Amino acid sequence: MATVKLSLNTDQITEEFFEDTKLLGIVTTVKDYKFCWNLNNLLELDFRINHEIEIKLKRKRRLYFFSVYEYRDPNSSLCHYLYNNLHDGEFLLPEFKHLDFLWLMKNDTVTDDYLEQVKAWLREIPGVQLITELTNEKIKNKDYLIF
């Protein structure tokens, strides 16, 4: 009997997940819990860690867990997700080793003005050194961000 190999095509899932999203890369000198505390207190947001959507990757015969913080805007359907890009010396997105966090905005239209406002807010936070917008084309491992 012939063995049939099946493979899962995630292209459509990935495309739908990233539809109408904006993604920022952030470099900072502070730990994730302190960075979220600053976001919540200085910007009056409510980011909270969500263990249900934590990213688990197996690399080098080891499991790595990348925390994801979530904030749902109460005035719209916009959801904010803050991914920790580093865990125990391993990177969620190895092509962005210089970034500490990835801030994904989805489920509602994010205007250029709003995105610029978020960048301005981030610049006010102590320890933030760099903020850059990432396009989907720049991300090699998009499927690592899907939960």
Both tokens of 46, joined, read: 């409510």
Confidence (pTM): 0.86
The number of CA neighbours under 13 Å toward the Cβ of 4 is: 1
Strand-pairing partners, residue 68, are 83
**pLDDT score for 7:** 67
CB 100 within 8 A of CB 27: yes
Q: From the CB of residue 88, how many other CB atoms can be counted at a distance below 10 Å?
A: 9
What confidence score (pLDDT) does residue 40 get? 94
Q: What is the pLDDT of residue 9?
A: 66
* Residue 130: per-residue pLDDT: 96
> Could you tell me which of 84, 66, 77, 124 has the C-alpha nearest to residue 105?
77
Q: How far apart are CA 134 and CA 104, in angstroms?
A: 10
pLDDT in tens, the chain (147 residues): 667 776 666 677 777 776 788 999 999 999 999 999 999 998 889 999 999 999 998 888 899 999 999 999 998 999 999 999 999 889 999 999 999 999 999 998 889 999 999 999 999 999 999 999 998 777 887 777 876
